[in-house]
């Protein structure tokens, strides 16, 4: 009986590891400064997602890297002997992407007090790494009024994409409708059918600079990643519905 229990535990652990490796992950990079503007060497930077804690310390130049991170929304906490603890809430991590938090500056400590300041992180409008790509994750999709129609959602994600009034045809920067393609979990599709909106973990709209893995298209690409059982488990653990 004991051997069967151990075997079951090992099987579950390997399944979880396989799910983690099978999905795309992201990371957070940035720098943290002391109140006087100098690098905050040794400052602790951490995130909490469900029961998991991922932490790192800033190097001599105040730089830090947090990875690997499951795509989602995080609260990043900064603490040090040089400044009062503070947090940035709503930091979005996208699949296969780096979210940058540059020059996060702490406030000077006040003797006899201990208070954590909370700030809201706003993602940049244009990603300098991939200006031709716009990615929405499930927490952003959930707040979008067009979330029930994935084609319409994709057409409103950014400039350069136009939806035909009486059909689900999409036109990228004037190209023909048949010059674009959908990918759902890496599978090429000519039409976006049979994908429940609530099952979408992220949707990426490429209006330019399409990666070679998607082939050669004169229009654009819409890549959708659906939620795995592991995604749903992590979201429940983090209190995300």
Q: What pLDDT, on a 0 to 100 scale, did the predictor assign at position 13?
A: 47
Give the integer Cα–Cα distance in Å for 140 and 40. 32
Element (H, E) at 202: strand 200-206
Angle between helices 229-237 and 2-22 (to 10 degrees): 100
Q: What pLDDT, on a 0 to 100 scale, did the predictor assign at position 20?
A: 45
Q: What pLDDT, on a 0 to 100 scale, did the predictor assign at position 10?
A: 45
CA nearest to 190, candidates 203, 201, 205, 180: 180
What residue ranges of the chain have pLDDT lower than 70?
A: 1-23, 50, 110-116, 122-127, 174, 177, 218, 229-241
Give the integer Cα–Cα distance in Å for 172 and 152. 13
Q: What pLDDT, on a 0 to 100 scale, did the predictor assign at position 240?
A: 52
Q: What pLDDT, on a 0 to 100 scale, did the predictor assign at position 166?
A: 79
CA nearest to 182, candidates 159, 160, 155, 142: 155
Question: Which architecture, in CATH terms, is 2-120?
Answer: Sandwich (2.60)
The CATH H-level (homologous superfamily) assignment of domain 133-234 is TonB-dependent receptor, plug domain (2.170.130.10)
pTM listed for this prediction: 0.57
Q: What pLDDT, on a 0 to 100 scale, did the predictor assign at position 41?
A: 95
Instruction: Give the dihedral of Cα atoms 99, 14, 202, 196; nearest 10 deg.
Output: -170
Q: What pLDDT, on a 0 to 100 scale, did the predictor assign at position 18?
A: 47
Domain ranges of the chain: 2-120, 133-234
Check: CB of residue 221 under 8 Å from CB of residue 213: no
Instruction: Give the dihedral of Cα atoms 39, 40, 46, 47; nearest 10 deg.
Output: -50
């Amino acid at each position: 009986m004991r051997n069967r229990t151990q075997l079951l535990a090992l099987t579950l652990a390997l399944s979880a590891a396989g799910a983690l490796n099978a999905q795309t992950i992201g990371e957070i990079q940035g720098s943290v400064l002391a109140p006087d503007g100098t690098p905050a060497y040794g400052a602790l930077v951490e995130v909490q997602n469900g029961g998991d804690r991922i932490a790192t310390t800033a190097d001599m130049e105040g730089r830090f890297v947090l990875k690997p991170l499951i795509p989602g929304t995080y609260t990043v906490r900064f603490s040090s002997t040089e400044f009062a603890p503070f947090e940035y809430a709503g930091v979005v991590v996208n699949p296969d992407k780096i979210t940058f938090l540059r020059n996060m500056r702490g406030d000077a400590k006040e003797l006899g007090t201990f208070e954590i300041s909370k700030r809201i992180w706003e993602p940049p409008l244009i990603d300098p790494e991939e200006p031709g790509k716009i990615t929405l994750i499930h927490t952003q999709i959930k707040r979008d009024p067009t979330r029930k129609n994935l084609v319409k959602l994709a057409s409103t994600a950014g400039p350069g994409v136009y939806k035909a009034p009486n059909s689900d045809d999409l036109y990228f920067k004037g190209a023909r409708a048949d010059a674009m393609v959908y990918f759902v979990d890496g599978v090429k599709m000519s039409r976006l059918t049979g994908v429940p909106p609530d099952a979408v973990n992220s949707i990426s709209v490429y209006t330019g600079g399409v990666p070679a893995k998607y082939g050669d298209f004169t229009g654009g690409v819409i890549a959708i990643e659906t939620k795995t059982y592991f995604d749903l488990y992590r979201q429940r653990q983090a209190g995300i519905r």
